Amino acid sequence: MEITNAQLRDNTLSLTLKPPYADAQKLIYKFKPGSYELAAVREKKRSLDANKYLWKLVTTIAQAVGISAEDVYRRAVREYGVCETIKVHYKAVNEFSRIWESRGIAWFTELADLEGDYRTMLVYSGSSCYNTGDMSRLIDGVIQDARNLEIETLTERELSLLLDAWKKEGTNN
């Protein structure tokens, strides 16, 4: 099912769905109280080769500038990665951040704005959940950073072959 909007008011979650509604109807008929995890359905996933190449560049940049690879990676995710904007009640900000950031190195939050009892937060996701387009944008940014530091990168042809491999692999991790 495709969700076009979500709102939380007074402990009630309201979802706006795009037709058809068959999946929602199945969920309602089979619903049992309990804990659930909602996850977005992603496009094609990035390849392990893409991830290896990203970390090779991140590590080389880290060595060149004298900081940790994790710090380079977080900076790259902040600049080129996936970020969502959400509103969170001020009482829930710390707990939400703690849970979100427990997911991995580049899963982090930043406060962006204050509106009454709500805080606008920037919520970043690590590359483990990126699709091909997300990963391509992240790697392109890291490649540019590496080139700015005069670090050798793949040639345009090699990059093109890597992108072709992503497209052919489809849903491979």
pTM of the model: 0.66
pLDDT band at 169 (very low <50, low <70, confident <90, very high): low
Structure confidence by residue, pLDDT tens digits, 79-98: 999 999 999 999 999 999 99
Task: Tell me if residue 84 falls in helix, strand or coil.
Answer: strand
Q: Would you call 5 helix, strand, or coil by DSSP?
A: strand
Beta bridge partners of 104: none
**Structure confidence at residue 171 (pLDDT):** 41
What does the pLDDT look like over 27-81, one tens digit per residue? 777 777 877 777 666 555 555 587 888 999 999 999 999 999 999 999 999 999 9
Question: Can you tell me which residue has the tokens 């309990």?
Answer: 34
Q: In the beta sheet, which residues pair with residue 121?
A: 86, 111
pLDDT of amino acid 144: 95
Q: How far is CA 18 from CA 4, 21, 43, 123, in A?
A: 6, 7, 18, 25
Q: Band of the pLDDT at 167, cuts 50, 70, 90?
A: low
